[in-house]
Chain A
Amino acid sequence: MTGNMHLGVEEPIRECQYNQICTHNSSTMDTPHTKKKKIKRKWQVFPGRNKFYCNGRIMMAKQTGVFYLTVVLILVTSGLFFAFDCPFLASNLTPAIPAIGGVLFIFVMGMLLRASFSDPGVLPRATPEEAADIERQIDTANGPSGPGYRPPPRTREVLINGQTVKLKYCFTCKIFRPPRASHCSLCDNCVERFDHHCPWVGNCVGRRNYRFFYLFILSLSLLTIFIFAFVITHVILRSNRTGFLSALKDSPASVLEVVVCFFSIWSIVGLSGFHTYLISSNQTTNEDIKGSWSSKRGKGNYNPYSYGNLITNCCAALCGPLPPSLIDRRGFVQPDTPQPVAQTNGTGACPSNQVQSHMT
């Protein structure tokens, strides 16, 4: 019984976190609470091309220039609206206008930040042991090499709801990608239910942030239409009193707002419509562009992921359960050997992974 204490583990079995058994015998094993110098968090050693902020809480793509442009456009246009048009509209029509505008604006910004800063559903790369195991399975599946050299097939076929789906092997992440996952070349990650990489949002759009992205473009459409409509109303009302040209002179900001909104409406409303169609048929942008489930590919081709029902598809996409992040950005990296060699007593470091903190 005293032997148990030697190994430096203060009964972690009883705590909520289950620590994997380490074959390392020495008692210099770190307890979860002592931080040795230079213990890194997992985001610091993350293999993909992402940028992290706020100590791993925020995750974005590498190129974020366009995202700042999006933020500036929205802030400036809305700011001008509230500063120049709202006072007139509030006093001459109703104060509900700036109120509704305010709510819409906050919702838009909230959804944008949520879509930009969340983990889209990145799949962590395979551990060396997993990768070796898969390689072995592939080699076994190929059998002895024939007379001519044939490159190993790196696909697996799976029957989902009666449709044959090919699972592709990702050479970067060393995993067979789950159905609907795709590797984003910009972020260098495999993302679950990959929709597309959106530069406006500065992140990939995938399983975990698709609903935020959709709500963002939907609410932005409403905000743009709202601002457009009320700025025009404002100018018309003023023109009735003072004539068109002096109305424009009194409220020059309105011109800028109308121009921005006019050009935005076409693209954003169009995009909202497109994504509404995608949601109702439970497809991703990726699948739609490739025509994966299009009837043009064959008579029996249909989408195996669709629930068959428009309402269910929408509810599943927008109100379904939100899966947690699989990459544990803020967890601590345990001193690991990358190569798992069969250990004898005390001759090497612990090959196991310990999860320290709660997944965010």
Chain B
Amino acid sequence: MAETHSLQDLRQAAVTSKVFVQRDYTSGTICKFQTKFPAELESRMDKQQFEETIQTLNNLYAEAEKLGGRSYLEGCLACLTAYTIFLCMETHYEKVLKKIAKYIQEQNEKIYAPLGLLLTDPIERGLRVVEITIFEDRSIGSR
């Protein structure tokens, strides 16, 4: 597959630098990342694509932290069972985190690896930043 081929190619490449997309706290303490396009990526990728990725991530995190009927139900049920219910089932948040991990993997395979970039799942950085590793450009992929 073309995608995994370029992903393996990255193994040979050297890390040039890392860009950190910080959290956006303007809506409070919910998990949200800034959609501002970092200057270091200007030569590598499309602004639109980047914003779309970050926006999708933000939407997924919003879904995880959403207050609504479902989360209240889960909370009450958990309280009634003295939180032992989480021994058998995952919390809603954890389910969404898995979705996010899959999304990031997909984005890396399809879009970022061919451009010589790599997204790190924010959960590995304590939900503080989206770390984007920039690899040396050795004409990987279509660029």
Contact = CB atoms under 8 A, between A and B. Distances in A.
Interface of A: 3-4, 7, 13, 16-18, 20-23, 25, 106-107, 110-111, 114, 123-124, 126-127, 129-130, 133-134, 158-161, 165, 167, 175-176, 178-180, 192-193, 212, 215, 304-305, 312, 315-316, 318-324, 326-327, 340, 342-345, 351, 353, 355, 359
B136 to A, nearest CB: 8
Contacts of A3: 8
Contacts of A165: 25
Contact of B15 (A124, A161, A192, A343): A343
Contact of B126 (A21, A123, A129, A215): A123
A326 B127 contact: yes
A305 B97 CA distance: 24
A321 B92 contact: yes
A322 B91 contact: yes
A22 B7 CA distance: 11
Contacts of B41: none
A321 B83 contact: no
Given A13-B7, A18-B121, A193-B29, A324 B93 contact: yes
29 contacts: A4-B4, A13-B7, A16-B98, A17-B101, A18-B108, A21-B7, A21-B118, A22-B11, A23-B11, A110-B82, A123-B128, A124-B125, A124-B126, A129-B20, A134-B20, A161-B28, A175-B128, A178-B23, A178-B25, A179-B28, A319-B72, A319-B76, A321-B65, A321-B71, A324-B91, A324-B93, A324-B94, A355-B123, A359-B97
B23 to A, nearest CB: 7
B contact residues, range: 35 or more
Given A18-B105, A25-B12, A215 B79 contact: yes
B10 interface: yes
Interface in B98-131: 98, 101-102, 104-105, 108-109, 118, 120-121, 123-129, 131
Contacts of A16: 98, 101-102
Contacts of A23: 11-15
B2 interface: no
Give 5 nearest A-B pairs by CB, closest first. Answer: A319-B75, A124-B126, A326-B126, A18-B105, A319-B72
Given A320-B65, A323-B65, 18 more contacts: A16-B98, A16-B102, A18-B101, A21-B11, A123-B128, A126-B128, A130-B125, A315-B75, A318-B79, A320-B72, A321-B67, A326-B123, A326-B127, A342-B15, A342-B16, A345-B12, A345-B14, A359-B97
Contacts of A312: 67
B48 interface: no
Nearest to A126: B128
B43 interface: no
Contacts of A321: 64-67, 71, 74-75, 91-93
Contacts of A25: 11-12
Contacts of A342: 14-16
Given A114-B83, A215-B79, A13 B4 contact: yes
A114 B126 CA distance: 22
A38 to B, nearest CB: 23
A351 B128 contact: no
Contacts of B91: 321-322, 324
A215 to B, nearest CB: 7
A111 B91 CA distance: 18
Contact of B105 (A13, A22, A110, A323): A13
Given A7-B8, A321-B91, A326-B123, A180 B29 contact: yes
